[in-house]
Amino acid sequence: MNINNLTNEDKVFIRTIFNEMRNNVKGYLEERDFNLSNPQLFTFLSFSSAALAIASDGDVDEKEIGIIEKISKSIDVRSMVQLDLQEMMSVALEPEGTICNEEFNLRAGSEILYLSKNMKTYEDGFIKAIKAMLTFDLNPGRGNSLTASFTKLMDSIIENNASKNKEEEKKKIEQLKQTLGITSN
């Protein structure tokens, strides 16, 4: 994508969405001293659906910690945010003093774990930020879309969890998807 082809309306839309995403998780980012660039924020919010799913039963058990450890190995800004997406994000204002991608990649998994354990405090903001981020998904029904990735990650966590309340967790995840504006196919 060439940012020169973006209209002023497109640029305002991108800036507005990034402001909304950042403002909704601002408290978390400040409390955790986790100053993220736009690509890092996008990546972190993409994986925060794992924390929402894990926290759906109100407890983080050993199996779920193992799931987070596995997920954290796949968190990488450069593979998540390709060059064309980075170029598009460049029209949104970047905060100063952000952490480097290497530090982000190393720290993101522990932040997902912290978020999972403390989701009650941050859930409303993260839901709003994710909803804002999902507005970038112009074709949510496509198999490799952002929305499909969110759904797949949340469903995978519930399926791989050996909880006694698996059916109850599935119901909570479906409610959460509805809140996020994700419809089941």
The HSE-up count of residue 130 (CA atoms within 13 Å, CB side) is 27
Does some domain include residue 132? yes
In total, how many domains does the chain have? 1
Does some domain include residue 185? no
Domain with 24, as residue range(s), is 3-180
pLDDT at 164: 66
From the centroid of its chain, how far is CA 85? 16
Q: Rounded to an integer, what distance in angstroms lies between the CA atom of residue 174 and that of residue 170?
A: 6
Question: Whole-model pTM?
Answer: 0.89
Q: Which of 124, 130, 138 is nearest to 181 (CA)?
A: 130
**Tokens at 181, concatenated:** 């504006």
Does some domain include residue 73? yes
Residue 7 makes CB contacts below 8 A (sequence gap 6+) with none
pLDDT at 184: 60
Q: Where are the beta strands (DSSP E) in 10-113?
A: none
Amino acid in the structure at residue 22: R
Does some domain include residue 38? yes
Q: Which residues of the chain have pLDDT under 70?
A: 1-3, 83-84, 161-165, 184-185
Contact status, residue 157 vs residue 53, Cβ threshold 8 Å: yes
Length of the chain (residues):
185
